[in-house]
Structures are given as structure tokens and as C-alpha cells.
A and B are shown apart, each in its own frame.
Chain A
Amino acid sequence: MKLPQRVRIKYCGGCNPRYDRTALAAKLRAAFPGLDMPETDEDGGPYDFVAVLCGCPAACAEHEGLEGRAGKMLIVSADQYEALAAAVRERLG
């Protein structure tokens, strides 16, 4: 059986987010029901793609060492959702 591709969702700490990071992650999940999107490293890597969801342009999330086979994308605004979805579609499609 082929395992679903994995998009690791990594959040910043969320001290003063300018958009709802968990809602954006939920939207991504709904758009790609066939992908596995873990929010912790409990099951370990590797990951096919990494989406780092930061609440503001300070982008202070610690994501060093967290890499996806098909890349990583840093999000600092809800406006970047379409670009994120497009990247997931193109790179994991």
C-alpha cells in the first residue's frame, strides 16, 4: 500500500498572530484530504513538504533542521494561502 505524502505543519509560538494559523492549516487539510499533515514530530520524519505557519512577519518559528523532500514554505500572512496551496499542488501533485 502506498503511504500518503506528508506535509509537516510547523507553527510559530503564536504570541500575537495577525491571522488564525490553525484555521489556515485546517483549510489546507480540507483542500488536500489525501495528504497526511502532522503538526508534531511524534511520528518522526521524513516529510515531503514543510509549511511553517508564522503569525507575523517576525517569523520566529524554529524550523532549522526541519526539511521537506519537495521543499519548505514560510507563511507570515493569510494572503499567502493560495501560494501555499499551489506549491503543495505542484510539488506533491
Chain B
Amino acid sequence: MAEFAQFSGTDRYIADEALMASVNAALVLERPLLVKGEPGTGKTLLAHAVAETLGRPLYSWHVKSTTKAEEGLYTYDVVQRLNDSRFGDADVSNIRNYIKYGPVGLAFDSDEPVVLLIDEVDKADIEFPNDLLRELDEMAFTVRELEETVRAKQRPLVIITSNAEKELPDAFLRRCVFHFIDFPDRERMERIVHVHLPTLGPDLMKAALDRFFAFRKVAGLRKPPSTSELVDWLTVLVASGLDPASITEGDPFLGVLFKGEADLAAAVDKRRGRKSW
């Protein structure tokens, strides 16, 4: 395995064995890596960590509900061209000037191998992943206006993240290496926190993690606090210079952990020992 084990986590990112196996499989098999997991478990961070370890530049494409698959490849700015033809002095006869590559196009066009992150692929329309199938399979697309095919000079490592808001099509899943980021257990969480806040004292760490894991058990939370919220919370706690004991008694700054009003109320109820509904 040694010659393939190119990814093994970074100083800033804690990777487990399963994750390393998935990333390396994606590298060797040249397939996209699909990363799923609860919000805030570090899906996007993973792409950054992989790019950092491999020493490759990262191209990010943040997908929104209105994103069309084609935008990732290229856009043809017809409006600019029309404007130039009437009022400007640019060379409008060359369509090439009005073709702009999207993140996928840029990644294909790059001379060195890159990491391409397609973030939150499930935000877009249900057909979106299917529209990208051929491009990601063949690592090529056609610019219709120029009748030219853009082929990846160096096959990029594609990392796709999903929050499971929409079901992804089977044909798409079949082509991906799948990785699910499990919620970290206490020991791993301590390591993660340590990476982010190296100076954190053991008392504060223990008190905060005790509360944190207790809060995650509160029934009926719409969004249980996750790693990123914990790190934010700890940062605030450190900055406030509170005594670790007061965390257990006072539950300060809960608004950092719980984003919804109902969740906050449920957490406060729990602290007072009432049953939360």
C-alpha cells in the first residue's frame, strides 16, 4: 500500500483509516470521491486538506440551487459581446474572448494536476449530477460555440460533497468512490479540538466536551451541534476567559452551539432537568 498512500491527513486535519483508503482509492482508480456526512463534520475541509497534502492547487465550485451543470464548464457571455459590438471597441469577431471557463473548465485546462471540489452537489436540481456524468467520466467537454473539445491536460482529483438533501442518481453513485464522515467519537474529537486550539487547557476541554456530548443526546434537536460549532464555542469560551467550572453550571454562550430558537430552548430545558419536547 505504501506507494499509493499519498494522503494521510495534515497537521490541521485528522483523517482516519477509512478516509485515507477512500482518498487513495479515488486517486488510483481516477474516480470522483463522493463525501457525505452531517453538516459541520469537515467535508469541505477535507478537500482543502487533500489538496494541501498532495501539493495541488484547489479549484472550488460551490453549487447553489440555481446552478446549472454547464456553468461549471464554461459560459458564453453573449450580453457582453452584444454590448461590445454596439458600444465597445473589443474584438467581437473572436467568440473566444467571450468564453469563460468555470471551475471544471479551469481544472481541465490547468497544466499541473489539481484537486477539483464540487461542493454541496445536492443543492442543485435533481438532474444536475447526471448532467456532469459524461464530462467527469471522460474528463472532456465540448465548447459548442467554438466546436472545440477541452480535454483535461492532467486528470484532476474530483471531490464531491453532499449533505444528502437530495437523492443522487444511481448512475452517478456507481462511478464514485463513497466516503461517509462519521461523527467523531470523544477521543477523536479531542484530537480535532487540539488541532484547532492547541493551547486549550485540559480542564476546559473536559468540561466543554462533557457538555457538548450531553447536548448532542438531547432528543428532538433539529440540528445537533457539530464539530465546527464546538470549535467556535470553545474559541469564545477561551476568549472570555471563563473558569472551566462555570461551563458545567452556567452553560454560557449556548447561542454559538445552537442555531435554532427551538433547539436552544430544548437545550436550556435539558439543563434545568426538565424533559424536553
Do A and B assemble together? no
Chain B residues at the A interface, C-beta cutoff of 8 Å: none
Chain A residues at the B interface, C-beta cutoff of 8 Å: none
